Each structure stands twice: as structure tokens, then as C-alpha cells.
């Protein structure tokens, strides 16, 4: 394996300064460190010995020819800075996990009613209209967005399940669904029949994402009570599932009906 392009493995790297004086000083320092540090390679999560027998610090991407050199590195400023950076990063991740867990706990103990769509993200003048086909009596949605400053040929969209969303979007959706649930529970305060819990389960919704750069993606939560009546093949339209991009007015339409 060729390590010549790796950080800190250019010729002469890892070598200590040339002057004898510095060498003496370093040796002394290493001895001091050896006296105070017990090198515990098994329990140090950042050190490992590569196939050449050289020690590497995974945190700093440095290589060390012997244990003394690694110990000296442990006491150095670079390693301490990286340790601190790592600690801050870990803390951030931990608090994010806790937050996510909290939201999930809230949702799982939620009690409910029924319901529909809501929009999230930077709105780009969009309307969501509930529709019903007068012949088949199928219900559905007509989505109409304006993207006057669109920089791509046309908007792209995808209908996704909860599991396909990024965890960030999952969290946004969980919060929005929770808001929706609360709003609707308040509306129905006098109504003793509280519907069933599962209707507000985020996995029971579908999520429409419309991308029209440079706009932020629009995310619309759509009810998933019935299957959407659309052709099996991707990117095919039908009477019950179609979209249209008006290049002149910069308006995008998407309409779909649910199976009865
Ligand atoms: Zn290090």
C-alpha cells in the first residue's frame, strides 16, 4: 500500500527536529510523559497499529514510529485540540439523539382524530385543494405551486413513505403532525369520540416532496387512508394521476385521486 499521499506521511514527517538540543529536550519530555502515562493501547480508542507496525492516531491522522513518539503526541497541543473537538461533536450528537427520542415518545403516547395534509418548508405560493371526481366520486388533492424564479427546466417531485425521508425531515414531519393533532383535538373538544390513535402515526402518512431549485424543497404531508390511484409504471400519467408544468406562467400542477 502506498501511504505517500496521507496526511503527515510526507518524507521526513514524524521525524523530530534536527538540532541536537531539541532532541535532548524531546527525549526528556518523553521520559517525563512515560513516567506519568501508562500507554494502554487496548483501551485508547484513537490509536491503532497498522500493518507496518507503526502507530497511528486516528483522531489526528498522525503516524508514530514507536510508543514514546505516540505518548509524546498524546501530551501535545494538536491531540488535545482534536480531543476537545471530538468531545463537542459527541455532545452535540447525544443531545440530538435525546431530542429525537423525546419527540418520538410524545408521538407514541398521542391520542387522536383523523386527517389530512399540511405543508412545511419555505412556501413558494402553493395551494393544496381537496377535490372529488364527479364521475367516479373518488376524492383527491390538487396541488398548485408557483416558482417564478425557477432555475431548472421543471420542478421534480416524489411521493415518499416516512421511512424514505431523511431523519431531519422525519423530525419536522413528526412535529407538524403533532401540531395538527393538537389543533384538531382542540376543535373537537366537545366531541367525546376521540377517533383512533393510529391515524396520527407518522408512518401512516405519505410525503410529497417538490424540488424546484433554487427554492427550498417543499414537503407536503398527505393522508394515506387509501392508496393513490396511479399507474404502476413510474413517470406515467392517467386520468387520476397527472402533473403539468406551465413554462409560461411558471406554475406546477399535480393532481391525484385515491382509490375508492
Ligand atoms: Zn492525536
Per-residue pLDDT tens digits for 213-244: 877 778 888 877 788 998 888 888 888 899 99
The DSSP call for residue 15 is: P
**If you measure from the C-alpha of residue 82 to the centroid of ligand 1, how many angstroms do you get, rounded to a whole number?**
7
Q: Does the pLDDT of residue 68 top 90, yes or no?
A: no
pLDDT number for residue 116: 41
pLDDT number for residue 106: 47
Q: 200 Cβ partners below 8 Å, 6+ apart? A: 107, 110, 112, 113, 115, 177, 178, 180, 181
User: For the whole model, what pTM was predicted?
Assistant: 0.50
The rounded mean pLDDT for the chain is: 76
**If you measure from the C-alpha of residue 56 to the centroid of ligand 1, how many angstroms do you get, rounded to a whole number?**
8
**If you measure from the C-alpha of residue 16 to the centroid of ligand 1, how many angstroms do you get, rounded to a whole number?**
16
Q: Does the pLDDT of residue 55 top 80, yes or no?
A: yes
Per-residue pLDDT tens digits for 95-146: 777 766 665 554 443 333 334 444 454 555 778 888 888 888 888 888 888 8
Per-residue pLDDT tens digits for 160-197: 888 888 888 888 888 888 888 887 777 665 555 555 56
Rounded Cα–Cα distance for residues 16 and 64 (Å): 11
Cβ(207)–Cβ(167) below 8 Å: no
Rounded Cα–Cα distance for residues 36 and 257 (Å): 73
Query: Taking Cα atoms as reference points, which of 120, 117, 122 lies closest to residue 212?
Result: 122
pLDDT number for residue 113: 36
**If you measure from the C-alpha of residue 71 to the centroid of ligand 1, how many angstroms do you get, rounded to a whole number?**
10
How much of the chain, in percent, has pLDDT values that exceed 90? 7
Task: Name all domains of the chain by residue range, CATH numbers in brackets.
Answer: 20-75 (no CATH), 118-257 (2.60.40)
* Strand positions, DSSP E, 173-223: 205-211, 218-223
Amino acid at each position: 500500500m502506498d501511504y505517500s499521499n496521507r496526511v503527515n506521511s510526507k518524507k521526513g514527517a514524524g521525524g523530530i527536529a534536527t538540532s541536537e538540543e531539541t532532541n535532548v529536550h524531546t527525549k526528556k519530555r518523553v521520559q517525563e510523559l512515560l513516567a506519568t502515562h501508562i500507554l494502554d493501547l487496548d483501551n485508547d480508542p484513537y490509536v491503532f497499529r497498522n500493518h507496518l507496525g507503526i502507530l497511528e492516531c486516528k483522531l489526528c491522522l498522525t503516524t508514530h514510529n514507536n510508543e514514546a513518539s505516540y505518548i509524546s503526541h498524546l501530551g501535545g497541543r494538536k491531540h488535545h485540540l482534536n480531543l476537545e473537538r471530538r468531545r463537542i461533536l459527541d455532545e452535540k450528537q447525544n443531545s440530538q439523539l435525546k431530542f429525537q427520542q423525546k419527540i418520538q415518545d410524545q408521538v407514541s403516547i398521542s391520542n387522536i382524530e383523523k386527517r389530512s395534509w399540511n405543508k412545511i418548508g419555505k412556501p413558494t405560493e402553493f395551494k393544496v385543494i381537496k377535490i372529488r371526481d364527479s364521475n367516479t366520486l373518488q376524492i383527491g388533492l390538487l396541488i398548485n405551486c408557483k416558482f417564478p424564479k425557477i432555475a431548472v427546466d421543471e420542478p421534480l417531485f416524489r411521493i415518499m413513505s416516512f421511512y424514505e425521508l431523511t431523519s431531519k425531515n422525519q423530525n419536522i414531519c413528526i412535529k407538524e403532525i403533532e401540531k395538527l393533532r393538537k389543533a384538531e383535538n382542540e376543535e373537537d373538544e366537545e366531541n367525546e369520540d376521540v377517533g383512533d390513535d393510529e391515524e396520527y402515526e407518522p408512518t401512516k402518512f405519505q410525503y410529497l416532496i417538490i424540488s424546484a431549485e433554487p427554492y427550498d424543497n417543499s414537503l407536503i404531508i398527505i393522508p394515506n387512508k387509501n392508496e393513490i390511484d396511479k399507474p404502476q409504471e413510474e413517470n406515467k400519467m392517467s386520468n387520476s394521476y397527472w402533473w403539468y408544468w406551465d413554462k409560461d406562467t411558471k406554475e406546477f400542477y399535480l393532481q391525484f385521486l385515491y382509490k375508492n
